């Protein structure tokens, strides 16, 4: 079994306790079809505030190096969507024009916490990591090293490359009046790397990509604190808590490793898009024409 996915099972078990408190405390009083939601222009890097999901963000508003801007209500990154309320669904569909939900989790994760079915939204099962790979994970002593190794998998594995190629297929083929959402469990690693790829394809600077990537720590802080508190309450050792802490957060070093592997095997992250995922220059131009504005 490859070393890259050794921390995966540990991270998944902790993420299971990460359901937002508000999701269990809110009783929906209206369906997504009848709930009225005011339209709003997203601020780059801001969270879409939902009752049943965290770390949900519209990429609209980010600037590219050429001076263009990512259009709002077209590109959404997210954590798991299994506890969405009716109001949450209305926010995503009516305010952000959600049309496609690309689920990057393992089949086991999908089965354990299935996404809410949203009327009119296409659901795409697209695992970056297989169940077989996740089951073969071994415990390791250093959680930080495990997470860094995990990011190698996104670039080096056949399944990882296939999953991100499928994500780009949805981005290229979804109608321009509909938004594409991609997510994993926490919305930080598999979804975070997917976001870095999309922003690279659109011509966003590496500095901005990292800034967006690290925002997961801000938007997941409450959820992460709850997970670590639960471990402490169960009597986990400080070493165990520290190891699992690295599975709940993101660090620059994690994404650095993905860039390192892309540069090693494909020359650059853009080279990974073209040589690793098979995107053509025509595809990149189409993506930029579709998702950018002056």
Q: What is the pLDDT of residues 249-277, one digit of tens each?
A: 999 999 999 999 999 999 999 999 999 99
Does the residue 112 lie in any domain?
yes
CA distance 152 to 147: 9
Does the residue 30 lie in any domain?
no
221-254 as b/e, with b when 16 or more CB fall inside 10 Å?
eebbeebbeebeeeeeeeeeeebbbbbbbbeeeb
Does the residue 250 lie in any domain?
yes
Does the residue 19 lie in any domain?
yes
Whether residue 170 contacts residue 102, with contact meaning beta carbons closer than 8 Å, is answered with yes
Give the pairing type, strands 179-183 and 98-103.
parallel
What's the domain range around 203? 3-23+46-293
For 119-145, how does the pLDDT look when each residue is reduced to its tens digit (9 = 90+)? 999 999 999 998 887 665 544 446 899
Does the residue 40 lie in any domain?
no
pTM of the model: 0.88
Domains contained in the chain, number: 1
Q: Quick one: pLDDT at residue 136?
A: 54
**Is residue 280 over pLDDT 60?**
yes
CATH number for position 10: 3.90.190.10
Does the residue 34 lie in any domain?
no
Does the residue 38 lie in any domain?
no
Whether residue 204 contacts residue 62, with contact meaning beta carbons closer than 8 Å, is answered with yes
Does the residue 92 lie in any domain?
yes
CA distance 184 to 142: 23
């Amino acid at each position: 079994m490859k070393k890259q996915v050794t921390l995966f099972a540990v991270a998944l078990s902790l993420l299971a306790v990460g359901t937002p408190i508000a999701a269990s405390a809110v009783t929906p009083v209206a369906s997504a079809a009848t709930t009225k939601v005011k339209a709003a222009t997203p601020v780059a890097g801001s969270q879409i505030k939902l009752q049943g999901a965290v770390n949900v963000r519209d990429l609209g508003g980010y600037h590219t190096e050429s001076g263009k801007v990512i259009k709002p209500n077209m590109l959404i990154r997210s954590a798991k969507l299994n506890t969405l309320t009716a109001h949450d669904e209305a926010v995503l569909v009516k305010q952000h024009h959600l049309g496609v939900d690309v689920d990057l989790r393992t089949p086991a994760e999908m089965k354990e916490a299935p996404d809410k079915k949203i009327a009119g939204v296409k659901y795409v099962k697209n695992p970056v990591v297989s169940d077989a790979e996740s089951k073969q994970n071994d415990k390791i002593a250093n959680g930080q090293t495990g997470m860094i190794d995990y990011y190698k998998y996104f670039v080096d594995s056949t399944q990882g490359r296939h999953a991100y190629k499928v994500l780009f297929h949805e981005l290229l083929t979804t109608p321009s009046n509909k938004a594409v959402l991609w997510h994993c469990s926490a919305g930080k690693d598999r979804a975070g790397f997917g976001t870095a790829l999309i922003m690279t394809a659109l011509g966003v600077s590496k500095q901005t990509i990292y800034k967006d990537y690290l925002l997961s720590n801000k938007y997941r802080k409450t959820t992460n604190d709850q997970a670590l508190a639960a471990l402490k309450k169960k009597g986990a050792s400080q070493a165990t808590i520290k190891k699992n802490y690295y599975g709940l957060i993101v660090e620059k070093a994690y994404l650095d490793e993905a860039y390192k592997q892309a540069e090693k095997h494909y020359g650059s992250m853009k080279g990974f898009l073209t040589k690793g995922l098979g995107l053509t220059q025509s595809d990149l131009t189409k993506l930029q024409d579709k998702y950018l504005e002056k």
